Amino acid sequence: MELMASFIYPQAILFPQVSLAKNFSYGQYPQMQILKYMGNKRRLLNWLVPLLEEYLDLGDTVLDLFAGTSSIGYAMKPKARIIANDIQGYSAVISRALLQFNEQIRENDFNDTLSKYYDKNLDQLTDIFGKAIEDEQRLVNKGSFDEYKKFFLKIPIYGRGVTSDEYKLAPYFSKQFIDKRRVAKKSFPYLLFAIYYSNTFFSLKQCAEIDSLRYAIDQISDKDKQALYLSCLMFAMSKAVNSSGHFAEYLNQNSLSAQDLLLKQRAISIVSEFQNKLLDFGNVYLQKRWENKVYNYDYKDLVKQMAKDGEINGVKLIYIDPPYTNAQYSRFYHIPETLVRYDYPTLTLDRAKTTPVKGGYRDDRYQSSFSHTSKVEEAFQEMFGIISSSTDATLAISYSDNSLLKPVDKLIEIASQYYEIIDKKNGYNHSAQGSRFKHNGRGNHIVNEYLLICKRK
Residue 345 binned pLDDT confidence (cut-offs 50, 70, 90): very high
- Asked if residue 276 lies in contact with residue 107, where contact means CB atoms within 8 angstroms, the answer is no
Last residue in a domain, options 246, 281, 316: 281
Q: Is the pLDDT of residue 7 over 60?
A: no
358 in a structural domain: no
Residue-wise DSSP of 56-78: --TT-EEEETT-TT-HHHHHHTT
CATH number of the domain at 435, please: 3.40.50.150
The contacts of residue 16 (CB under 8 Å, 6+ apart) are 426, 427
Residue 183 shares a structural domain with residue 223:
yes
Task: Tell me if 163 is assigned to some domain.
Answer: yes
Which pLDDT score, from 0 to 100, does residue 14 have? 30
Burial 75-111 (b: 16+ CB within 10 A, else e): bbbebbbbbbbbbbbbbbbbbbbbbbbeeebeeebbe
CB 217 within 8 A of CB 197: no
| pLDDT for 300 beyond 80 | yes
**Which regions of 11-158 does DSSP assign to beta strands (E)?**
61-64, 81-85
Residue-level pLDDT at 225? 96
Q: Residues near 374 by Cβ (< 8 Å), separated by ≥ 6?
A: none
> Does residue 315 sit in the same domain as residue 408?
yes
Per-residue pLDDT for 1 more than 50? no
pLDDT value at residue 435: 39
Q: Which residue has the higher pLDDT, 377 or 440?
A: 377
Assign 3-class secondary structure to 311-366: HHHHEEEEEECCCCCCCCHHHHCHHHHHHHHCCCCCECECCCCCCECCCCCECCCC
Q: Is the dihedral of CA 429, 435, 441, 443 positive or negative?
A: positive
pLDDT exceeds cutoff 60 at 16: no
Statement: residue 17 has pLDDT above 70: no
On whether both 137 and 175 belong to a single domain, the answer is: yes
Asked if 166 and 120 sit in the same domain, the reply is: yes
On whether both 73 and 124 belong to a single domain, the answer is no
Whether 386 and 448 map to the same domain: the answer is yes
Residue 341 within a domain? no
CB 74 within 8 A of CB 32: yes
Give the integer Cα–Cα distance in Å for 319 and 426: 17
Listed in sequence order, the DSSP H helices in 77-114 are 89-99, 109
In a domain, 414, yes or no: yes
Identify the domain boundary among 248, 281, 314. 281
Domain assignment present for residue 337? The answer is no
Q: pLDDT tens across 185-198, in order?
A: 999 999 999 999 99
The dihedrals phi and psi of 59, each to the nearest 5 degrees, come to: 85, 0
Check residue 152 and give left, alpha or beta (phi > 0: left; psi -120 to 50: alpha).
Answer: alpha
Based on the domain organization, do 97 and 119 belong to the same domain?
no
Judge whether residue 440 has pLDDT over 60: no
Domain span holding position 26: 20-101+301-328+366-456
Largest CA distance in the chain: 71
Could you please report the per-residue DSSP string of 379-421? HHHHHHHHHHTT---EEEEEEETTSSS-SHHHHHHHHTTTEEE
| Beta-carbon contacts of residue 158 (< 8 Å; ≥ 6 apart) | 173, 178, 195, 196, 347, 356, 360
Can you give the pLDDT at residue 429? 58
Q: What is the pLDDT of residues 384-414, one digit of tens each?
A: 999 999 999 999 999 988 888 888 889 999 9
Share of the chain above pLDDT 70, in %: 89
14 near 408, Cβ under 8 Å?
yes
User: Which sign does the torsion angle of CA 280, 286, 292, 293 carry?
Assistant: positive
Residues 54 and 166 in one domain: no
State pLDDT tens for residues 371-381. 899 999 999 99
| Tally of domains within the chain | 2
Instruction: Return mean pLDDT, the chain.
Output: 87
Phi, psi at 382, each rounded to 5°: -65, -40
Are both 51 and 116 inside the same structural domain?
Answer: no
pLDDT surpasses 70 at 449: yes
Provide the 10 A C-beta neighbour count for residue 228: 26
CB-CB contact of 395 with 385 (8 Å):
no
User: Are 250 and 311 in a shared domain?
Assistant: no
**Per-residue model confidence (pLDDT) at position 427:** 59
Answer yes or no: is 246 within a domain: yes
192/273 same-domain check: yes
81 vs 60: CA distance, rounded Å? 6
Which residue in 83, 85, 49, 80 sits closest to 66, CA to CA? 85
pTM for the whole thing? 0.89
Does a structural domain hold residue 352?
A: no
Pairing of strands 81-85, 419-432: unpaired
Is the CB of residue 209 less than 8 Å from the CB of residue 122? yes
Residue 253: predicted pLDDT: 84
CA atoms within 13 A on the CB side of 62: 30
Please tell me whether residues 166 and 241 are part of one structural domain: yes
Residue 296 belongs to a domain: no
Measured CA to CA, the distance from residue 218 to residue 227 in angstroms comes to 10
